[in-house]
Amino acid sequence: MSRVVVTGRIPDAALEKLRAEHDVDAWDGTESISREELLRRVAGAEAIVSLLTERIDGELLDAAGPQLKVVANVAVGYDNIDVPACTDHGVTATNTPGVLTDATADIALSLILMATRRLGEGERIIRSGESWKWGMFFLLGSSLQGKTLGIVGMGGIGQATARRAKAFGMEVVYQSRSEIDPQIAGELGARRVDLDELLAISDVVSLHCPYGPATHHLIGAEQLEAMKTSAYLVNTARGPIVDEAALANALREGVIAGAGLDVFEKEPQVHPELLVLDNVVLVPHLGSATVETRTAMAVLAADNALAVLAGEQPPTPIG
């Protein structure tokens, strides 16, 4: 039996799979494991099942030791993992793409609806006990029918978001490193454009690109200025893709109409200027937060770890 370290709480279905074959040391605290404790626990592990809250870098890989074979991340994004360091240490790194596509697309559309229809503002009025009454101009929002959705990053989640938007009568344009399958593009009525054009013509811009050096602050002051003053920005990808200070300024000054964020630049911290603005919807990284999706993610991560420990190719390696 190999020693497997799980860095945080995951669904029982995944733990049971791991425990059926190996010795599992799983952190079960309600708070994230401390760095010091993590470095201590990984010593001697042959597999690490990691959450996105833990940084997997050279220091941790050294602490684990040369017997470490696999790091299985319970997330589709892997900006918490130093993949080159894993390669240098002979460690396979895996993630969990596919299983959270629909859940994250649901959140993206939810944020689009909440921002454009000002639902967050409405709920805050009700909960505050503030006096209100129906009126022709009370909390007027923006409809989606006939509007253009610009998707930055047209992978699985971007395509799933486009399908949902199409059902609401939206036109779709996208920016991506490569063309999507022509048949899918035809079904969605999606047209590929460059980022500048996408920002200029879209009524809603939804971010679904991976995070890395090339996409750090991809959306900053210049890009926000390029958007329509009536447009909305939605981010369910990774927080640092957006310059939060620039976004707060754009929202405050009316450069764009509103925004919806599920991820944050210095998560779990949120830029303080965003917290006082009514025209931004803020939710705490709930993209994959359904029982079904989180279970599927954890089970896939377990399957990745088990495959590598058995000397087999993992289902979803990174790279």
Catalytic residues: 238, 267, 285
Q: Edge-to-edge strand order for the sheet containing 92-94?
A: 23-26, 3-6, 47-50, 70-73, 92-94
- C-alpha 4/C-alpha 304 separation (Å) is 12
C-alpha separations of 227 from 129, 144, 204 in Å: 35, 17, 9
What spatial distance separates the first Cα and last Cα of the chain, rounded to whole Å?
Answer: 28
DSSP label at 181?
P
244-265: b (≥16 Cβ within 10 Å) or e = bebbbebbeeebbbbbbbbbbb
Dist. CA 98–CA 151, nearest whole Å? 18
Q: Would you give the DSSP letter of residue 231? A: -
Ramachandran region, residue 15 (left: φ > 0; alpha: ψ -120 to 50; beta: rest): alpha
